[in-house]
Structure 1
């Protein structure tokens, strides 16, 4: 279980998140929604250690942790970025295996077994040696998901996963998210502006409201 207690985040004098409290249960899909500028992406960036909070605490299974300290918490939070952030000079296999090889110190055999399973689950078999420029948007997104899962996080976060996708691909993303829950019990947090998509995938929807400043 992930708990956020009294999370406050400011940019200068502007308060983005004000004493926010939130609990995410194990194996739950939580959709974070809200209008543009309400702070939903900022909340995700705080959760994943990309932004430092000004006040508050994070707890994983009742033990406090700091998302900024990636080396200590590498297995708690994973993230799939809106623009995928794949390395253009690396092929699919190398994009997926770089971080676990450097951070988790996985052996080549461990990596091969784990990656082949991910490629199969995410319908990427046969794409191993392709580079990002050779992939469609949906394929790039699946590679980004595989890369995040290769780090074996407890919680997987997505930033606007349907923002650049047509309705057919949106449904494929929904299927992947729901399969991860059903097959692995993965806890997932999805930041989205797409309320229809949120209703399709989420066990719970949390709305971030714009603060008047």
Structure 2
């Protein structure tokens, strides 16, 4: 279970997050929704350790946890970026196996076996030797998910998973997230798409710009 208590974050004197609380049970999907500028992505970046929070408490199973603390955090929380952030000079297989090899110190055989399993699970069989420029938007997203899953995270976070895709792929993305939920993956999804959020989520956290609350 992930718990966040009284999370605060400001930039250049402007308060973006002011006392955010949330709880996500194991295996749940939490959708974080709100307009542009409300702090959705900032919240996600604090949770994944890409931004430092000004204050607040992070707990995993009741134990304090620092998202920026140690390499251990890489194996706890994975992230799928809005623009996928695949390495263009690496093949699909190399994109997936790089972090487990370097961070988790897994062997090449071990990482290749895991990558093959993920490619099959995510409908990417036969694409291991392809490069990102050869992939569709939906395939790039699946590779990004495979890369995150290769680190064996307990929690998987997504930043606007449908925004870079054609609208007709929205249901495909929803089904993918729901299939991961059936496997027990805890997921946090930042999205501006309320229909998508309602389709996938066990819980919805609505955030709005602080200026709009006055």
Question: Structure 1-normalised TM-score?
Answer: 0.97
Matched, 1:11 2:15: no
Distance in 2 of aligned mates of 1:96 and 1:72: 18
Deviates more, 1:184-193 or 1:161-170: 161-170
Label 1:172 to 1:70 Cα distance change in 2 as closer, same or farther (>3 A). Answer: farther
Quote how far apart the aligned CAs of 1:188 are.
Answer: 0.3
Distance in 2 of aligned mates of 1:202 and 1:115: 27
Q: Which runs of 5+ in 2 are unaligned?
A: none
Decide whether the 8 Å contact of 2:93 with 2:112 is kept in 1.
no
Corresponding residue number in structure 2 for 1:89: 89
Distance in 2 of aligned mates of 1:175 and 1:167: 14
Quote how far apart the aligned CAs of 1:20 are.
Answer: 1.1
SS at match of 2:50: coil
Deviates more, 1:105-114 or 1:122-131: 105-114
Distance in 2 of aligned mates of 1:72 and 1:97: 17
Distance in 2 of aligned mates of 1:162 and 1:112: 28
Corresponding residue number in structure 2 for 1:152: 152
Matched, 1:207 2:206: yes
Corresponding residue number in structure 1 for 2:113: 113
- Structure 1 segments, 4+ long, off by >4 Å, are none
Give the RMSD, CA atoms, in angstroms: 1.0
Corresponding residue number in structure 2 for 1:50: 50
Decide whether the 8 Å contact of 1:49 with 1:70 is kept in 2.
no
CA deviations over 1:155-187 (Å, ceiling 9, x no partner): 0000000002123211111111000011x2000
Decide whether the 8 Å contact of 1:31 with 1:191 is kept in 2.
yes
SS at match of 2:79: strand
CA deviations over 1:85-104 (Å, ceiling 9, x no partner): 00000000000000000000
Distance in 1 of aligned mates of 2:5 and 2:205: 15
Question: Structure 2-normalised TM-score?
Answer: 0.97
Corresponding residue number in structure 2 for 1:193: 192
Quote how far apart the aligned CAs of 1:70 are.
Answer: 4.2
- The 5 A counterparts of 1:67-106 are 67-106=67-106
Corresponding residue number in structure 1 for 2:161: 161
Distance in 2 of aligned mates of 1:91 and 1:68: 28
Distance in 1 of aligned mates of 2:2 and 2:80: 18
Distance in 2 of aligned mates of 1:103 and 1:164: 28
Distance in 2 of aligned mates of 1:144 and 1:70: 22
Deviates more, 1:46-55 or 1:62-71: 62-71
Corresponding residue number in structure 1 for 2:22: 22
Distance in 2 of aligned mates of 1:86 and 1:102: 16
